[in-house]
Amino acid sequence: MERLTNKEEEIMQALWALERGFVKDILSKLPEENHYNTVSTVVRNLEEKGFVGHQAYGKTHQYFPVVSKEEYTRKFMKVALKRYFDNSYKSMVSFFAKEEDISADELREILELIEKKK
């Protein structure tokens, strides 16, 4: 699975939220600076890449995600973990702790999740 561009990710986020939608529906979930033709082109590119499927209704198409948000997130996070944190979850968590992007309460919740998983 390849990494998506920022614009492709933005459109996938909208489509994941919608679950199914026409280009106009996707457009309504995006910032106003997006244009119909641009979104339509990106959605068709996402379909060629295997991220999106469609159901035809005459000349119009209703699009739906083929790759789940969880599946893409899992793949992206594995790449980020390897690329930026040398495959170390400890390094990743300590990075967010140092940046104050994660609170002590959140760390405790993470530890509880890990303990429950064991």
pLDDT number for residue 46:
97
Q: What is the CATH number of domain 6-65?
A: 1.10.10.10
> Domains of the chain: which residue ranges?
6-65, 69-117
- The whole-angstrom separation of Cα 4 and Cα 96 is 24
Render pLDDT for 57-72 as a digit per residue (tens, 0 to 9): 999 999 999 999 999 9
Summarize the confidence of residues 76-83 as an average pLDDT: 89
Are 67 and 1 in contact by the 8 Å Cβ rule? The answer is yes
pLDDT number for residue 27:
95
Q: Kindly provide the residue ranges of all beta strands, DSSP E only, lying in 15-91, ordered along the sequence.
A: 52-57, 60-65
